[in-house]
Amino acid sequence: MIPIPAIDLKNNKVVRLYKGKFDEATAYELTPVDAAQKWIDLGAKWLHVVDLDGAQTGEMKNLNSIKEIIKKFGNVPVQVGGGVRSDEAIKKLLDLGAARVILGTKAVPDERIGAVVGTMWELSNEVLQYGEDKIAVSLDCLDGHVTQRGWTETSPRKGTDLAKYLESVGIKTIIYTDIARDGTLQGPNFEGIISILDEVNVKVIASGGISSLQDMEKLKTLTSKKGNVLWGAITGKAIYEGKLDFKKAMDICLTNA
């Protein structure tokens, strides 16, 4: 399992939200590039960069910072999300050098049959056009149900159902976040993570609530009924506030991986 540091951007500053609430953001003194440098120096194999302004408004606002990170650290793959709601946005990020583009709201169909079919076709086409390794979907859940539009709306659709749907259209990487745990340092929703691992045979990356090396150790050993394990785990607040030693997390998670 790969520990992945999060670099969440708001107004081109590094921040962390509390339970996905934009009015409860903690800003850090590190610049986006300095944050990337810090985690790479400690052994990061991937970076997770999110444009929070984009997630909230639907239009990416932190492209300059994202571009600077990708350009300076071209040897470390960067997955980017937040406000990616068009093919043009996907193409722009891939052209900038993003290793993987994360879709959120764009990948969640409403309940009308026509909309479901249209979204299925669109996602399938994007996987075919850009490659299955270039597209991921962020499965952000609250009480087991999918949230969208910057976590401000909750869909009646269950996360497990959407996970199966995403696999059916060719998505090979899912990032599962429990919004109620995100930024709380209360520990991950292990039950929710297992429920996703039980349903799909794709790469699953967990996020939300990670607070300690013990959390990382437990995440590493999670195994579904099918024998699936986590591909990665995203950590943010814990490493920025010194609750989790990122280098030790790398050593623990990559040992005998």
Catalytic residues: 8, 140
Which is it for strands 21-27 and 47-51: parallel, antiparallel or unpaired? unpaired
Q: What's at 29, amino acid-wise?
A: E
Helix (H, G, I), strand (E, B) or coil at 119: helix
- Residues contacting residue 225 through CB under 8 Å, at least 6 positions apart: 198
CA atoms within 13 A on the CB side of 117: 3
Helix (H, G, I), strand (E, B) or coil at 215: helix
At what angle are helices 159-168 and 190-199 packed, to 10 degrees? 30
- Residues contacting residue 129 through CB under 8 Å, at least 6 positions apart: none
Radius of gyration of the chain (CA): 17
- Determine whether 121 is exposed, middle or buried from the number of CB atoms within 10 Å of its CB (0-12, 13-18, 19+): exposed
